[in-house]
Structure 1
């Protein structure tokens, strides 16, 4: 099986703003972005999507998925982490003590009142386990957090380690199951 995870392209919001589940639009036209993404995936030899395109319902993902596929599977479990009271705030405007408390227990703390990393990961992994069984090639348009959580799950590494991996807007992360084991084919491509 091939699982191709694509982070949504750049969004129309100021840099440095916490926007987890805030529904912000793409900075550029989804049709143009879909054309460029298709060309890049062809150049990377990414396998064709056999079992359908899947996407977060947030506009920055769903609009691109609709430009790429006739009937993409939109699933709320692919939404980014919910940052509660921090949604829409500049990161540097959030009380540093709250950010430190979160960093001190990244897996379970929720000083923002939204989801903990553990809750978020449970939701995302539930999507993976219910969708990616007995499939050949699934393509997903989602968020950096979703891509990193799935990467950690597939590769058997700590989530907090995967959260540190760079992942550009529009980046492709391609995983392949080989003899029952997941291998990373491309990251941030």
Structure 2
């Protein structure tokens, strides 16, 4: 199975808002960004995050796709759409010190996100008769899929750069993964 993971294109976030679950618009020229993404057309399965910034890209590919809630970015709860600088230090500092276990009020921590993303990932890898998959999602989700394969500590998750509108391509053959490319 060949698995193509694409991160949505750049968002319009001049105020540096915290966002994950919240729908935030893509940059004004997002259609131009879409045209620069080269991808195949012959996927057996296309799955998108239900976030609008991902569904717009799935629509652009004219794909018959499904959405899956497990492909959403991290839920930042009460922090969603607040400026990072406006989140009180007594709330944000514990998270900065331990983003794996600490969460925003009403949100989720990285371990909880990992559980839902890995649930999707393992379900996908067990599918039979699928040769090629396209997943349109977010940087955090893609990092957690790489973490599922490479088994690196969650604390190291943000050492992997996942660019807007770029792909990670992996293959799964006989139970073994191969990472073919990152940020193409």
What TM-score, normalized to structure 1? 0.86
Alignment of 1:114-153 (within 5 A): 114-132=107-125, 133-134=127-128, 135-153=130-148
Distance 2:65 2:90 in 1: 41
Q: Which runs of 5+ in 2 are unaligned?
A: none
Which one of the candidate residues 97, 111, 120 is aligned to 2:90?
A: 97
Alignment of 1:20-169 (within 5 A): 20-28=20-28, 31-38=31-38, 41=39, 49-132=42-125, 133-134=127-128, 135-169=130-164
Offset of 1:118 from its aligned partner?
A: 1.1
Distance 1:24 1:122 in 2: 24
Equivalent residue number for residue 165 of structure 2: 170
Distance 2:77 2:13 in 1: 18
SS of match in other structure, 1:65: helix
SS of match in other structure, 1:4: strand
For structure 1, which segment, 64-73 or 54-63, has the greater mean C-alpha deviation from structure 2 after superposition?
64-73
What TM-score, normalized to structure 2? 0.88
Q: Which runs of 5+ in 1 are unaligned?
A: 42-46
Which one of the candidate residues 180, 185, 188 is aligned to 2:183?
A: 188
For structure 1, which segment, 146-155 or 176-185, has the greater mean C-alpha deviation from structure 2 after superposition?
176-185
Residues 48 and 137, structure 1, Cα contact 8 Å, conserved in 2: no
Q: Output one character per residue of 1:106-144: Cα deviation in whole Å (capped at 9) or x when no partner.
A: 222113330111111111111122234223211111011
Cα separation, partners in 2 of 1:126 and 1:175, compared to 1, 3 Å: same
SS of match in other structure, 1:19: coil
How many residues are paired up?
182
Cα separation, partners in 2 of 1:53 and 1:33, compared to 1, 3 Å: farther
Distance 2:114 2:13 in 1: 25
Offset of 1:104 from its aligned partner?
A: 3.0
1:4 aligns with 2:4: yes
